[in-house]
Amino acid sequence: MPKSERNFTRTESVLAGTNFYPFRMLRAASAIFFSVLLLASTALHAQDIGVSARAHLSDILNKPLSPRAASMGNSFVAAKNDLNTIFSNPAALSTIEPLDSSRLNEVSVSYSHYILDINEGALVYEHPVPEGVLFEGNFAAGVQYFSGGSSSETNSVGQELGTFHTGDVALLLDYSSTGSNGLHYGAGVKVVSMSLVSGSSVRDYGSTWLAADLGLLYELKPALMTFGFSVLNIGMQASKFDSVSEAIGPNVQIGISKKLERLPLTVQIAFHNLNRDREGRNLLYAFNDFSVGGEFVLGKVVRLRFGYENQVRHELNVPTGNGFAGFSMGVGFHIKRYDVDFALNSQGPDFSSFVRFGVRTAF
């Protein structure tokens, strides 16, 4: 029997003997947890520049790049055992279980194609801290890119001057370790570059940002639950687009992941941009940007996934309706030391759905 299945069976036996903790205690713990996180997000809100965090550069940085995360609605704040948590909560890197115990290095590659020549992708490399070093944990390095393709360049009277293309690149370096009693913590730094390159005589534009990510993840193992908290994109603009400045805008997130006792299903929910400007709305508006995801584990090979992003559905609402905008689905295959994942994200009736592809392996 695989190690993970033995652990799950042992956990079920413990839960059966202890009656799975009184629900009132679990509700009380959850209430305290969310109260603390809400206070933290409120404090960080004072540092915002007064514009909705959705309008900042963080829109590019907060998109789910891996097919697993995308198929589960970008609800990865409390997710475990995935290299791509580097983009949502750096603390989760120390929860990674090696695909092959004899191979310490792991890598994940993701690619998405939208329409025309617009595409994006990510590459993540992870390695545990070598034995004998004064500290323990996991290091990960990643790169993500977005290519906006080529477009026609015209002047103020509509005369075509040539073509231009846009591109964004972010480089990340993260570290995560495990504290006591199931607590994981992590931090990371990133450099973000955006450019607009022209093929005409008009000069090119570009800008660079420096930012940091912080995260906490707590495993409540007897209840098969994890709680996640992360603050992404704490940074500043190092160089401007000509004379135009743009704040990167922090993104405060919280999330919960729950593995059901007698069903091979893990459910996740995450709240994003809790520090965004509520624009005069009540406090509940801060929780409007949420996502939900689930993953069925069918045997040793197949994983079926589904997800929903409320903010995406709201943003893609058009006069003809929003159809299945915000909904996603996917499938994953675990074959020896390879994880192969696919995701399908719907963009509503007026936009085509797109497919994401990814591979994770050890070497």
Tens digit of pLDDT for each residue in 319-352? 777 788 899 999 999 998 999 999 999 877 767 7
Q: What's residue 48's pLDDT? A: 36
pLDDT of residue 238 exceeding 80, the answer is yes
Q: What is the rounded distance in angstroms from the CA atom of residue 148 to the CA atom of residue 234?
A: 25
Question: Following DSSP, what letter does each residue of 175-244 receive, concatenated?
Answer: EEEE-STTEEEEEEEEEEEEEEEESSSSPPEEEEEEEEEEEEEEEEGGGTEEEEEEEEEEEEEEE-BTTB
Percent of the chain with pLDDT over 90: 46
pLDDT of residue 9 exceeding 60, the answer is: no
Strand duo 265-271 + 251-259: pairing? antiparallel
Q: Would you state the structure tokens that stand for residue 249, as one six-digit string? A: 């805008």
Sign, CA torsion 294/122/344/310: positive
Judge contact between 339 and 331, C-beta under 8 A.
no
Structure tokens, 172? 């990340």
Q: For residue 286, which of 295, 297, 275, 300 has the smallest C-alpha distance? A: 275
What whole-number distance in Å separates Cα of residue 199 and Cα of residue 216? 45
Cβ burial of 287 (10 Å; 0-12, 13-18, 19+) is: middle
- pTM as predicted: 0.78
pLDDT one-digit tens code per residue, 189-212:
999 988 877 665 555 678 888 999
pLDDT level of residue 100 (50, 70, 90 thresholds): confident
Least confident among 32-46, 114-128, 313-327:
32-46
Higher pLDDT, 54 or 281: 281
Which neighbouring-strand residues pair with 213? 188
> Residue 6: CA atoms inside 13 Å, Cβ hemisphere, count?
3
Q: Does the pLDDT at position 59 exceed 60?
A: no
The answer to whether residues 120 and 145 touch, using CB atoms and an 8 Å cutoff, is yes
Which residue would you say has higher pLDDT here, 66 or 25?
66
Contact in structure between 305 and 295 (CB atoms under 8 Å): yes
Residue 35: pLDDT over 80? no
| 117, HSE (Cβ side, Cα atoms, 13 Å) | 8
